[in-house]
Structure 1
Amino acid sequence: MRSPRENDAQRTADAVARRSYGKLVAYLAARTRDVTAAEDALSEAFASALAVWPRSGCPANPEAWLMTVARRKLIDVARHQRSGEAVATQLRILVEAPEGPVDTAIPDMRLALMFACAHPAIEEGIHAPLILQAVLGLDAKAIASAFLTSPAAMSKRLVRAKDKIRQAGIPFAIPEREELPARLASVLDAIYAAFAEGWSDPGGMDATRRDLSEEVLFLARLVAELLPEEAEALGLLALMLHAEARRRARRSASGAYISFAVQDLALWDAAMIEEAESLLRRASTLRAIGRYQLEAALQSAHVHRRRTGHGNWEDVVRLYDALLTLAPSPVVAVNRALAIAELHGVKAGLDALDAIAADARLAEYQPYWATRAELMARNGAYSEARHAYEMAVGLERDPAVRQFLLQRCAALPA
């Protein structure tokens, strides 16, 4: 059984890990361009803290204590493993680093680390996992679970990516203005991809995915705060807040799926929705429209319709048209077809679905089949609707959504 001082040390270490892990790793790695070495040194510093703090008491500034210990460990590694001019440069950089309080003496390099992780020289598919590990400290097992792959495979890919940063000398810096859009897009896409993984556990029953949602929301806030003049950064945060605001309403007390149209508005987080609306208004003043702003605007329109009861499908279709032009995808096309059905009737919606049916990606896209089933059922084509529901059920991973689709299928007239 732990002593009170051991418990205090553990709580302090946990709090620092949550609050400052990324800041400490980013600063160490920015000076050495070696993410793995920075993570190892910080890990050893935390281990030292759990051994020392119960005896000596927790320091007034635990971040500064950890930084000092981690930096000394990096110096030891540099002295023992390297030689010549490289070690002299490395040691000079480390020795000259400040040891003062983290919040005042050490610049926040987390955004620079994210841009390093999203460098075009690194495989695009590993951007999001690399950001989650380097900036948030999630381990390979947790990330592998979120991205539906094996821990061994994820670990190997992460190691290769970190080696690429070190070997290629990828700079830890926010790109120049002309390079920013492409690089920022990678950072935002990585954050949103990670958020989507966490969003796939709407009931919050999976601790890993629940933590993932919280952490990537933190990342989105960080980018928006550090780049307040980038409209798409504001748009992404607004989109994520709109989605997160409705999390509690997506499941009943028994875990059953509840569609957007019948969710209990009292369960929506009004403060999150208002924050999302404020971010959208700020983004609109920057006059640089992008995908995430349009998607957030669509969420805003759907929320407004439910809250007021006023139909706004014409506005929704216009937003989908703009999004389809800016960022064409089968996801957008399917949602647009459903909106067209609401505005112009079921036949028009089915025509819009038929117009994209040749896209091979739709064959295994559950929402396509669920949308087709819904529109066929409204059109009285019950046999076709039943087939589409069966396809949707077979493609759905979430048991609650599967049950919902089965119930809709069973309710069709014979």
Structure 2
Amino acid sequence: MTPPSRTPPGAGAGGGRDAAHAAAAHAARESFARLVAVLAARTGDLALAEDALADAFAAALERWPSSGIPDNPEGWLITVARNRQRDVWKSAAARTSTPLGEADGAAEDPFEAIDPLRIPDRRLELCFTCAHPAIDPAARTPLILQAVLGFDAAHIAAAYAVPTATMAQRLTRAKRRIARARIPFVVPDRRDLPERLPAVLEAVYGCSAITWRDDADSLAGEARHLAVTLARLLDREPEAWALAALVTLSLARPRSGPYVPLEEQSPATWDAELIDEGEAHLRRAAALRGPAAPGRFELEAAIQAVHLDRRRTGAVDWAALRTLYSALLSVAPSLGARVAAAAVVGRTDGAPAGLAALPPGGESFQPWWATRADLLRRAGRTGEAELAYSRAIELARDPEVRAFLEARRAEVRST
């Protein structure tokens, strides 16, 4: 039975087509990963779920311009995708090549229980499935970023500094492994969490970092939703609550419009409600941790909290930030953390000390050049600062960040 439509058939070929494409694009942006999770949860075949849903979107673009946009686009898409999965499952090839055909009671239709009008959010189950020990550790977080959070192989490859083809092969192998090993789509019990949780937390954190300039209603907001949902689900995992704090606090700052460094932003532009919520998550993480040393996400959230505390004190506590970065470098000495720590040293001990603290090997890392340029500017070495700003501008992907750096370079040139 065809669902009722919002757009009446024959309401204008051009207008109907534009509206249908807009509705399909909105559903893909907002729901693709969630629908994949629902479809894959019944079969264990992630690749088949993605292919079936892609076919459903193709059918939508073909049918919706003339038949109208369904009242429940997600339900329409899940129904078409489910039927596509069922066709594959029932084929002779599928019976001999997929886990479904080998399962006990294969005559039972695994798609029958999917209710297209009530689609649950199965993404956290899919997160933990992608982090299963049977999956190559190098592919776990990238697979979550693609299958659950919707990033394509090219974006993930860029984040990991590997060729797109290499990343695509890793992802394909991981999906095949899920299907062949019949890895269940469940949140594991506490005995299995220590091995799986880091990849899940890292993926949600990665989504937040990649989309930090996006609107809160887009993927940046999705990262916060997943982080908070994960923390509540696990309840007593301090690093899960710390990640919820970090993602929430990062969203409290302005993300769109001209780029302004955090220490130069007006606290009046910050979201006080999100700050309060993030600080509450951070306090819960610290309470659950007890006397143990804080983890990476708690330290990063604490760094954000110190910056945002300027709304109360009127000044940045650079000494506290240096202490926190020292602790962070002992836990997670990433290049980004070392560069940020060098910037803080430049504030506490002077620009020359900050330059000396910059780690080697950052010559292809845009924040390294931006930090070096700022430290050189503060040290009065304007000629070198101009060159560093130029390199940072070349490497900048965000046009607003590029515009900010160009303005700073112009200031240096004029002195």
So what's the TM-score if we normalise by structure 2? Answer: 0.75
Q: What residue number does 1:258 align with?
A: 260
The structure whose residues are more often helix, as a share, is: 1
Distance 1:203 1:58 in 2: 29
| C-alpha deviation, 1:327, in angstroms | 0.8
Distance between the aligned counterparts of 1:42 and 1:133, measured in 2? 15
Q: C-alpha deviations, 1:70-129, integer Å up to 9, x for none?
A: 55543442232244796262654853676375798x876422211222335545565455
Q: Secondary structure at the match of 1:362?
A: coil
Distance in 1 of aligned mates of 2:186 and 2:35: 16
Q: Which residue of 1 aligns with 2:177?
A: 164
Q: In structure 2, how many angstroms separate the alpha carbons of the residues matched to 1:57 and 1:401? A: 39
1:223-281 deviation per Cα after TM superposition (whole angstroms, max 9, x unaligned):
23322322222222221222222134x634xxxx3222332333222222222112112
Instruction: Name the amino acid aligned to 2:247.
Output: M
Give the equivalent residue in structure 1 for 2:307. 302
Q: 1:214 to 1:146 in 2, by over 3 A?
A: farther
Q: In the alignment, what sits opposite 2:281? A: 279
Specify the alignment match of 2:242 in structure 1: 235
- Residues 31 and 340 (structure 1), Cα distance of their counterparts in 2 relative to 1, 3 Å cut: same
Quickly say closer, same or farther: Cα 1:118–1:102, change in 2 above 3 A.
same
Which ranges of structure 1 fall in alignment gaps of 5 or more residues?
Answer: none
User: Contact 1:251–1:258 (CA<8 Å) still a contact in 2?
Assistant: no
SS class of match (1:170)? coil
* 2:103 corresponding residue in structure 1: 89
Q: What secondary structure, in the 3-state scheme, does the structure 1 residue paired with 2:362 have?
A: helix
> Aligned pair 1:177/2:190, yes or no?
yes
Q: CA deviation at 1:314?
A: 2.2
Q: Does 1:38 align with 2:49?
A: yes
Contact 1:350 1:372 in 2 (8 A): no
* Aligned counterparts of 1:124 and 1:226: Cα–Cα separation in 2: 24
Distance in 1 (CA, whole Å) between partners of 2:69 and 2:409 is 63
Match in the other structure for 1:198: 211
Provide the secondary structure at the position in 1 that maps to 2:211. Answer: helix
* Equivalent residues of 2:252, 2:274 under 8 A apart: yes
C-alpha distance in structure 2 between counterparts of 1:404 and 1:107, whole Å: 43
- Is the contact made by 1:114 and 1:187 (CA closer than 8 Å) also made in structure 2? yes
Alpha-carbon distance in 1 for matches of 2:153, 2:145: 9
- Aligned residue for 1:213? 220
Residue 375 (str. 1) matches residue 375 (str. 2) = yes
Cα distance change, pair 46–381 in 1 and its aligned pair in 2 (3 A) = closer
* Cα offset, 1:283, TM superposition: 1.3
Instruction: Report the aligned-residue RMSD.
Output: 4.3
Instruction: Work out whether residues 63 and 101 of structure 1, in 8 Å CA contact, stay in contact via their aligned partners in 2.
Output: no
Structure 1 CA distance for aligned equivalents of residues 339 and 395 of structure 2: 16
CA contact (8 A) 2:44 2:179 kept: yes
What is the correspondence of 1:3-402 to structure 2 with a 5 Å cutoff?
A: 4-5=7-8, 22-42=33-53, 70-71=81-82, 73-80=84-91, 81-83=93-95, 87=101, 89=103, 92=106, 94-95=108-109, 99=113, 109-123=122-136, 126-136=139-149, 157-199=170-212, 202=213, 211-248=218-255, 251-252=257-258, 257-287=259-289, 289-343=294-348, 345-346=349-350, 350-357=352-359, 359=360, 361-402=361-402
User: Contact (CA 8 Å) 2:6, 2:69: kept in 1 or not?
Assistant: no
Compute the TM-score of the two structures, normalised by the length of structure 1: 0.75
What is the identity, as a one-letter code, of the residue corresponding to 1:298? I
Q: Residue type of the partner of 1:95?
A: D
Q: 1:294 offset after TM fit, Å?
A: 0.9
Report if the CA contact (8 A) 2:86-2:111 is conserved.
no
Instruction: Name stretches of at least 5 consecutive residues in structure 2 with no aligned partner.
Output: 10-15
After superposition, the Cα gap between the structure-2 partners of 1:141 and 1:215, relative to the gap in structure 1 and judged at 3 Å, is: farther
Letter in 1 for 2:286: S
